[in-house]
Amino acid sequence: EGVTWGLLPRPCHVLVLLNPQSGTGHALQLFRSLVQPMLAEADVAFTLFVTERPNHARELVRAGDLSQWDAVAVLAGDGLLYEVVNGLMERQDWQAAIKKPLCTLPGGSGNALAASINHYAGNTQAFKEELLTNCTYFLCKGLYAPMDLVSLSTASGKRLYSFLSFGWGFISDVDIASEKYRQLGKARFTVGTIQQLAGLKVYKGRLSYLPVEMSSSAPGSPSEQNSHHMPCSNGRPLHILPQPAPGVPRPPHEGSWPEDPLLVPFDQPVPKHWTVVPEEEFISIFAIYQSHLGADFTMAPTAKLHDGSMHLFYLKAGVSRLGLLKLFLAMEKGTHLDLNCPYLHYLPVRAFRLEPFTSTGLMTVDGEPLACEPVQGQVHDQLCRIISG
Ligand code: ADP
Ligand code: MG
């Protein structure tokens, strides 16, 4: 696979994709006043591409010649980087294209990856211009590191790549419902949370997962005793499991996408060494692969850019509104697990499957909406590269 850590060459040329509508609508102004002078100082040349509509950036990176750029930076929220990652994975030459160093410059209302990278670099929580300055400084330094991606497949045959999160229920609903408060910047999530608390809903479905510990050791190992979940071991050695997934829907360019060796087709039950959650009523299910879900929202404090895991949280039905509010307030500092809330479960996993019992409502992938249907996914270790401090 070659070197995954690296340094941008000097001088270098970066493609900057900018969503003028992201966040409070000041991304272009921020680029001119803050980013551009720093890049000039560091001898980083750029080509600025301002998007005109959703999927504009995705189409550009899917079809364009990327060889002239040493990195692709995104000045927007997580949504535009999600477009870029998926556009790269839709290319015939995705294996090479996805190794192009990417960079997130926070200009949106949801800048979870930027906040996470700022945290990994050892900086204190930063917001707005300060966070943007830190991230632009990372780009000027030019250091990049490998980052895991998660492949998601839906029962209807959709195939998506995700760098941040997959969710269903409360947290996803906050993200979607608060879209209309975009002008508030990150405050949109606070307003959205309070709104959603008032109309708390229960989501019914079956959740299954492959714990990290079960993917690296044989079923029946001592680590299993720590689990208070329903164990599903039949004692077979792991190396003969799991089977390849012949029935997993394939994209149009057959055979040229990464295989999902941990997954089996939806019409088959999950492998025996997976855990099936006994409860089927949830308030929220959320898998996050980075530390931060927002600039002041530390959901998985121990997460790293490439730790080979999704940090899976699920909140069972029965939790009170007050209990839920306390959890959310604790997430600012990442102390929600210290509350020992009996309704909240957390575990690092390599793969999961979620089968909702109804198909109403929306799920979210990296904060972007996805129609509700059965979804499964797995981690792909170090599939892409990202500018990090
Ligand atoms: P925010 O963090 O404010 O949500 P994002 O960068 O995540 O900002 O973008 C939000 C959405 O806007 C994404 O779904 C993206 O595809 C879409 N988008 C990108 N460019 C444009 C544009 N020029 N006009 C409107 N929407 C756009
Ligand atoms: Mg967004």
Both tokens of 311, joined, read 């940090």
108 ligand 1 Cβ < 6 A: yes
Domain chopping of the chain, boundaries:
6-147, 159-383
Residue nearest to atom 11 of ligand 1 (CA): 79
Which ligand sits nearest to residue 114's alpha carbon? 1
Ligand 1 pocket, residue 77 CB under 6 Å: yes
Closest CA to 355 of 251, 285, 289, 288: 285
pLDDT for 162-185, tens place per residue?
999 999 999 898 888 887 777 777
pLDDT band at residue 188 using 50, 70 and 90 as cut-offs? confident
User: Of 198-212, 232-246, 253-267, 290-304, which gets the smallest average pLDDT?
Assistant: 232-246
Ligand 1 atom 10, closest CA: 79
Pick the CATH number of 6-147 from 3.40.50.300, 3.40.50.10330, 3.30.2350.10, 3.40.50.1000: 3.40.50.10330
Which residues is 46 bridged to in the sheet? Answer: 14
Question: What is the whole-number distance in angstroms between the Cα of residue 239 and the centre of ligand 2?
Answer: 40
The third-level CATH classification (topology) of the domain covering 159-383 is Tumour Suppressor Smad4 (2.60.200)
- pLDDT tens profile 136-167: 999 999 999 999 999 999 999 999 999 999 99
Tens of pLDDT, residue by residue over 67-112, are 999 999 999 999 999 999 999 999 999 999 999 999 999 998 889 9
The Cα 118–Cα 132 span in angstroms is 10
The complex scores an ipTM of 0.97
> Over the Cα atoms of the chain, what is R_g?
20
Pocket flag, ligand 1, residue 368 (CB < 6 Å):
yes
Say how many Å lie between the CA of residue 91 and the centre of ligand 1.
Answer: 22
Residue-level pLDDT at 3: 54
Q: Is the pLDDT of residue 235 over 50?
A: no
pLDDT at 53: 98
Distance separating alpha carbons of residues 164 and 251, to the nearest angstrom: 22
Q: 117: burial class by Cβ within 10 Å (0-12, 13-18, 19+)?
A: buried
| Phi then psi dihedrals of residue 385, to 5 deg | -130, 145
The pLDDT, as a whole number, for residue 217 is 54
User: Which residue, by CA, sits nearest to atom 9 of ligand 1?
Assistant: 79
**Going along the chain, which residue ranges are E strands?**
6-7, 12-18, 44-50, 71-76, 102-106, 143-154, 159-162, 165-169, 203-211, 275-276, 281-288, 292-294, 297-298, 310-316, 344-356, 362-365, 368-371, 375-387
Residue 54 Cβ inside 6 Å of ligand 1? The answer reads yes
Q: Which atom of ligand 1 is nearest to the CA of 108?
A: 2
Q: How far, in Å, from the CA of 80 to the mean position of ligand 1?
A: 6
Would the CB of 53 count as within 6 Å of ligand 1? yes
